[in-house]
Structure 1
Amino acid sequence: MEPRNNFEAVLGKFRKATRKDYDSFVSKVANPSISDAELVKCLKSLKDCATLLDNEHEVLIGVLLKLDWMRRSSAVVQMYQSMMLNIVSVHTVYLRACLRALIKHFMPVLRPVESKETPEGFVTDEMMAAHNQGFTHVHTLIKTIMKIVPMSSNLLMPLLIDNYPFFTKDVYIQECFMKNLLQITYYKPDLRQSIMELLIEKVIKLDTRAPRSAILEARLQDESQESGIFNMDEETSPVIEYTDKLDVLMVHLFEYIQSVCHKDGELEWEGTKRFYREMLYIFEKVILPTYACCHIQFIMFYLVSFRMQLCDGFLDYLWKLVQNPNVHSVYRQSAVAYMGSLLARAKFVSIRTVMRTVELMMKWAHTYTHTCQDCVMADVVHHGPFYSVCQSVFYVFAFRQKEIFETKAGLKWAKSLQFQHLVQSRLNPLKVCLPLVVKTFASITRQHQLAFCDHIIQQNNRSFLPVDSSSSQTSFETYFPFDPYLLKRSMKYVEPHYRKYDQSVAVDDDSSGEEDEDEMFTDDIPSSEAVDIVTMTGSLVDKTDLMSYGTSPGFKHIL
């Protein structure tokens, strides 16, 4: 039988141990200077002989996978795609290597620029356009491979995980990889949850390396330098670098959530519900157990803002976690912190929802105090979820008190909560909860004659909490996950739905006999390393919102 093309004849000689023509062909294909027309001929020859390219031709396949084919003419692109499809459909042994090579194309090589005035890693519009065109070609090939080789779906996700760029890589590399992974979810929706989980895990690595206190401190330094107070010629700090990367990636996550849940500007409800269920799974698995993050959790804040049913479902899910004694205490405390922060901060949460949820939390807290009547005094170690519920109630009540008392039955409802009974219980939540929350709550409840806390607070200031022998914890701390958002680029997705603390509703504290403690809320407070909930206490207060959990969980001091 006559050879179908010259390369088939070359393969015939190769099988007879004559490698000269074969090696010459491989070198020709690998030559970056080869013309498009000549490359098309070579690729067509390989396509026609795909069935003959068995395990003995790994070197040739390796050369093909390293080709910079996306930047060439459309004829080369189409022929390369056809050739590679023929090879992997016949020889699945090359499938993993092919997918790995395609995934690596999601990380464009940033070639050094010639101009000294151009910063390293600078990407021009022309470069970005070329990269995006190349990404389109890669996705076309991956999508087709997924259709004709079913087993490729099982290989793709592990390869995405293994090849994800390290968080120290250039922000443009991080951005390109994320955008391409999100693009995969449009033609491979069954991988969406796994891809979102991977992306969120990676973003959390940046989030935890850019804590709130460090961001505020870096901004303060920038302001000082701009005002001429300091004249420092220093390189960009790692915190600023991580913050910039985090901000860019958060923009893409918000944009993706918007695009998934909306079609032609309208909310696509069924698709949104499916996406919400996937994100709730990721939230419980990845976000909820992470206590040092400041921003990634806002993707849930943004998602549930689309419709009140989502917000109600999220609150219900969190409340079930809080009530479940089989869930670890740390997760229960974190869940109720999310509840309190969402109820206080979200503009889309109605006051009716706030009152209904606070009422549920108070009923649970009262029931808990009845079951712990034998307790002699406060015990942070054994009753962490209880104190978290109390603190969230105090926080939300103080934050939304103006709206509560503006309702027709607001005062009557507030009296029905029986705050006095709770604060006088032997568990003594006023002793354990954060001082600024306690002060604000005490001031408001005193004004409306709902509870009288001052005497209890004074007694607590003269005593100390007992310390469990297995723990060095002497006070209770938690954080409110939806404290003010600090990333400038992505803030536009959060700001329209976000409630800042209204300082005009602050109540004057007329109590006497206490030392004025205004200064303690502006002093640096070190973060605690020995608490069940790892805190994000910072050393600076965000000047844009005194409810920020910088040196406190959020209330402007009242005294």
Structure 2
Amino acid sequence: MGMELENGQAQFQDMEGVNFTDSQLVDFIRGFLSSVSLGNTDGYNQLVGVIHHRERLSPDEVALLVTCLKALCGAVSFIDNVLHESLLAGIFKMSLWDYGPNVMDALVELITSLAVSSGKYVDSCLDMLVNNFMPPHYYMDLLKKPHGLIRKDEVFSRVHTALKDISDLVPLAPLRLEQIVVNKMQRVFFKESMTTVYVENMLRLEKGSLSEFVGRKILTALVDKLLDLDVEIGWDDILQDDFSKGIFEIELEDDDEITDAINEDSIELPSELSRKSLTGNVIAETLDSLIVLTFEHLESCERDGRLNEVFEILLLSFQRTVLTAYKSKFAQFVIFYACALDPEVCGARFAVTLADMFISCNDPPLTRMSAVSYLASYLSRGKFLSTSLVTTILKRLVDWCLEYSKTQHVDLNPKAHKVFYSGCQAIMYVLCFRMRSILEIPRLKSQLLLMPIGSILTHRLGPLKVCLPSIVEEFLRKANANLFTPSETFIFNGLLESEYSKTFGGTERLDMFFPFDPCLLKRCDRYLRPYFVYWSMVRPSYDEEDDDDDDEGSSDEDVAEVFPDRIEENLMDDEAMARSYDDREFDLDEFDSALNKMSITPRNSIQYRGDSVQMPSRILPSTSPGSLW
């Protein structure tokens, strides 16, 4: 062996020309490693040179690299983190993306052996594997081509197999892995394509064999990342120069263009017009891609029967971050989509949780106001929610507001009673969307008529003067048209936003926050549409332009189009409801030109009539048989 060490350089150069056995190769490399401590570094330096070689390799050079990597696997116990620092640095900087299958296999085997051999290499090995979640920058365009996709699958399959093998053999590896994955995502902001590939690997970990150990932390980190990107998209990016509009009130500016587009079957034009404020926004496009990736992951979880498990993690993350964020714009649609995939369990649980948070006195007022804003928007927009569930939750809100009003004997005070006002506004907002579907089911109609909504809204706290005027106006127009008897019909000329309503929301204007208004991210919206209620779908029966159409009433088919369960008093069972949504076909562009036909901004022509508003203490059925509202 001493002779071999003295002539190490010559022997190393001749390795590929000699037929060594596996054990002889290992002994050969061990000799090079041991010689460093004796001051002989010639053979070691050549070994390091082979590992560090990054240029295009010839077939002979590839064979030599594979030989060295395999021999190093059997010599890991001879590797010293101080004496062989340059060798280790070269190994950990190697990228699987740069090599063919033979080199990749040998490198993964070496990394696994290093991690298992000593605890001091675990973090470096895991970090090296996680770095391979992302291809080199020059490789990104190749991922769009067939051979690029094949290479991606070759790399990812080996990376995740190695992570699993290391985790099986090193008990603390999963904990270290989740920290590395999360930290790397939090501290680095990549381009859209790079971020998407990284998140794809995160989600592959979440649903793989390591899910039990790393899934919760990874999902939580993903939601946090979505929210971080969401916050980066400022309101100025969406509202541009018109701050009088709410985030989802951006109307299509040129009606003639829209009409022409529809007549020419050019259905993409309205979509682009309605989202033009986000066009070219790199952060918005990245967020759009990541949310879609998350949607597809949730679909996979639903198919695998583990959606409920994942939903519990999303719900906790939502409560911890999204709910308390200042007017989150898009991140909340992740949990909305999870609910849509499982309305009976996840969908109902989300509604109940939000209602519990609002009713509970344990949370601060702003949290409760945010919860009920989410709840109102969710109940209104969730096409997958049964009318029975909506009515049940609505009754809980009414009951709480009634009990609260009974304890108050003072005049209106927006700051002191903002939780109460947010509850009243939620009730009216939900009924703007859902009143018609509730009235179509006799059993639920009876429950609605027994709710003391009128008593609450006419309380001396004056919720009709404090809540957002456009919601009050819309609610009263529907109530006047269909719920009040002629003698009790409220004479209404409209409302002007007063100092009361401005004070109610405070600086954060939670009174104008409806988080599940139509999503302005184009790709996300295509996934959401089949499960989403647009205002244009809830056709107001009082519109003068529709009077002729409404004279004969709406057909059962029209009524069932938006809310499938409202024709029959007995709701569909879980299996039938799931089947009905699976079998239905939707036109993904059908509603793009009506992102928000329900305006929630004040109208300049609206004003109070008199000093007070009067409503009956109990809503009575309309005497007009032709009206559905």
TM-score tier by shorter-chain length is: 0.7 to 0.9
- Look up the match of 1:147: 168
Larger CA deviation: 36-45 vs 68-77:
68-77
* Among candidates 82, 104, 108, match of residue 135 of structure 2: 108
Which is richer in helix? 2
Residue identity opposite 2:302 in structure 1 = C
Contact residue 210 and residue 242 of structure 1 kept, 8 A: yes
**SS of 1:163 mapped into structure 2:** helix
Residue identity opposite 1:26 in structure 2 = V
Contact residue 95 and residue 132 of structure 2 kept, 8 A: no
What is the Cα-based RMSD across aligned positions, in Å?
A: 3.6
* Among candidates 90, 95, 109, match of residue 82 of structure 1: 109
Q: Deviations along 1:105-131, whole A, 9 cap, x unmatched?
A: 112112289xxxxxx899544334323
Larger CA deviation: 492-501 vs 204-213:
204-213
Using CA pairs under 8 Å that are at least 6 residues apart, name the structure with larger relative contact order, 1 or 2: 2
Within 5 Å, which residues of 2 pair with 1:377-388?
377=412, 379-388=413-422
* Among candidates 45, 49, 52, match of residue 30 of structure 1: 52
For residues 384 and 279 of structure 2, the distance between their equivalents in structure 1, rounded to whole angstroms, comes to 36
2:596 is the alignment partner of 1:546: yes
Name the CA shift for 1:274/1:112 in 2 (closer, same or farther; >3 Å): closer
User: Highest CA radius of gyration, 1 or 2?
Assistant: 2
Within 5 Å, which residues of 2 pair with 1:323-472?
323-373=359-409, 375-377=410-412, 379-408=413-442, 412-447=446-481, 448-449=483-484, 464-465=499-500
For residues 174 and 367 of structure 1, the distance between their equivalents in structure 2, rounded to whole angstroms, comes to 50
Tell me how far 1:254 sits from its aligned partner: 0.5
Name the CA shift for 1:247/1:6 in 2 (closer, same or farther; >3 Å): same
2:73 is the alignment partner of 1:47: yes
- Look up the match of 1:512: none
Larger CA deviation: 165-174 vs 96-105:
165-174
Tell me how far 1:31 sits from its aligned partner: 1.2
For residues 385 and 192 of structure 1, the distance between their equivalents in structure 2, rounded to whole angstroms, comes to 36
Q: Percent identity?
A: 23
- Look up the match of 1:200: 223
Contact residue 348 and residue 497 of structure 1 kept, 8 A: yes
Residue identity opposite 2:370 in structure 1 = S
Q: Deviations along 1:525-545, whole A, 9 cap, x unmatched?
A: xxxxxxxxxxxxxxxxx9523
Tell me how far 1:454 sits from its aligned partner: 5.1
Task: Return 5+ residue gaps in structure 1 as ranges.
Answer: 114-119, 229-235, 510-541, 554-559
* Among candidates 185, 198, 204, match of residue 164 of structure 1: 185
For residues 199 and 462 of structure 1, the distance between their equivalents in structure 2, rounded to whole angstroms, comes to 39
Residue identity opposite 1:322 in structure 2 = F
* Among candidates 298, 322, 329, match of residue 257 of structure 1: 298
* Among candidates 309, 316, 327, match of residue 274 of structure 1: 309
Q: Deviations along 1:363-411, whole A, 9 cap, x unmatched?
A: 11010001122x222x222222211111110011121122222232565
For residues 595 and 236 of structure 2, the distance between their equivalents in structure 1, rounded to whole angstroms, comes to 14
**SS of 1:296 mapped into structure 2:** coil
- Look up the match of 2:288: 247
Tell me how far 1:96 sits from its aligned partner: 0.8
Larger CA deviation: 31-40 vs 279-288:
31-40
Larger CA deviation: 68-77 vs 395-404:
68-77
Contact residue 203 and residue 249 of structure 1 kept, 8 A: yes
For residues 96 and 504 of structure 1, the distance between their equivalents in structure 2, rounded to whole angstroms, comes to 59
Contact residue 298 and residue 482 of structure 1 kept, 8 A: yes
For residues 505 and 371 of structure 2, the distance between their equivalents in structure 1, rounded to whole angstroms, comes to 22
Name the CA shift for 1:292/1:168 in 2 (closer, same or farther; >3 Å): farther
Instruction: Please give the TM-score of this superposition, normalised by the length of structure 2.
Output: 0.72
- Look up the match of 1:138: 159
Tell me how far 1:256 sits from its aligned partner: 0.3
Contact residue 318 and residue 335 of structure 1 kept, 8 A: yes
Larger CA deviation: 483-492 vs 409-418:
409-418
Tell me how far 1:77 sits from its aligned partner: 2.2
Within 5 Å, which residues of 2 pair with 1:9-24?
9-24=31-46
**SS of 1:54 mapped into structure 2:** coil
Contact residue 465 and residue 498 of structure 2 kept, 8 A: no
**SS of 1:290 mapped into structure 2:** coil
Task: Return 5+ residue gaps in structure 2 as ranges.
Answer: 3-23, 241-249, 262-268, 270-276, 545-591, 604-629
Tell me how far 1:68 sits from its aligned partner: 2.9
Name the CA shift for 1:167/1:159 in 2 (closer, same or farther; >3 Å): closer
Tell me how far 1:498 sits from its aligned partner: 0.9
For residues 550 and 461 of structure 1, the distance between their equivalents in structure 2, rounded to whole angstroms, comes to 12
- Look up the match of 1:528: none
For residues 474 and 90 of structure 1, the distance between their equivalents in structure 2, rounded to whole angstroms, comes to 56
For residues 219 and 13 of structure 1, the distance between their equivalents in structure 2, rounded to whole angstroms, comes to 75
Contact residue 253 and residue 299 of structure 1 kept, 8 A: yes
Tell me how far 1:170 sits from its aligned partner: 1.7
For residues 361 and 399 of structure 2, the distance between their equivalents in structure 1, rounded to whole angstroms, comes to 16
For residues 286 and 472 of structure 1, the distance between their equivalents in structure 2, rounded to whole angstroms, comes to 21
For residues 361 and 219 of structure 1, the distance between their equivalents in structure 2, rounded to whole angstroms, comes to 32
Contact residue 204 and residue 293 of structure 1 kept, 8 A: yes
For residues 317 and 456 of structure 2, the distance between their equivalents in structure 1, rounded to whole angstroms, comes to 35
2:95 is the alignment partner of 1:68: yes
* Among candidates 233, 258, 275, match of residue 210 of structure 1: 233
For residues 465 and 200 of structure 1, the distance between their equivalents in structure 2, rounded to whole angstroms, comes to 36
- Look up the match of 1:480: 514
Q: Deviations along 1:467-526, whole A, 9 cap, x unmatched?
A: 99x9975976231111112222232321111111235324359xxxxxxxxxxxxxxxxx
Name the CA shift for 1:11/1:317 in 2 (closer, same or farther; >3 Å): same
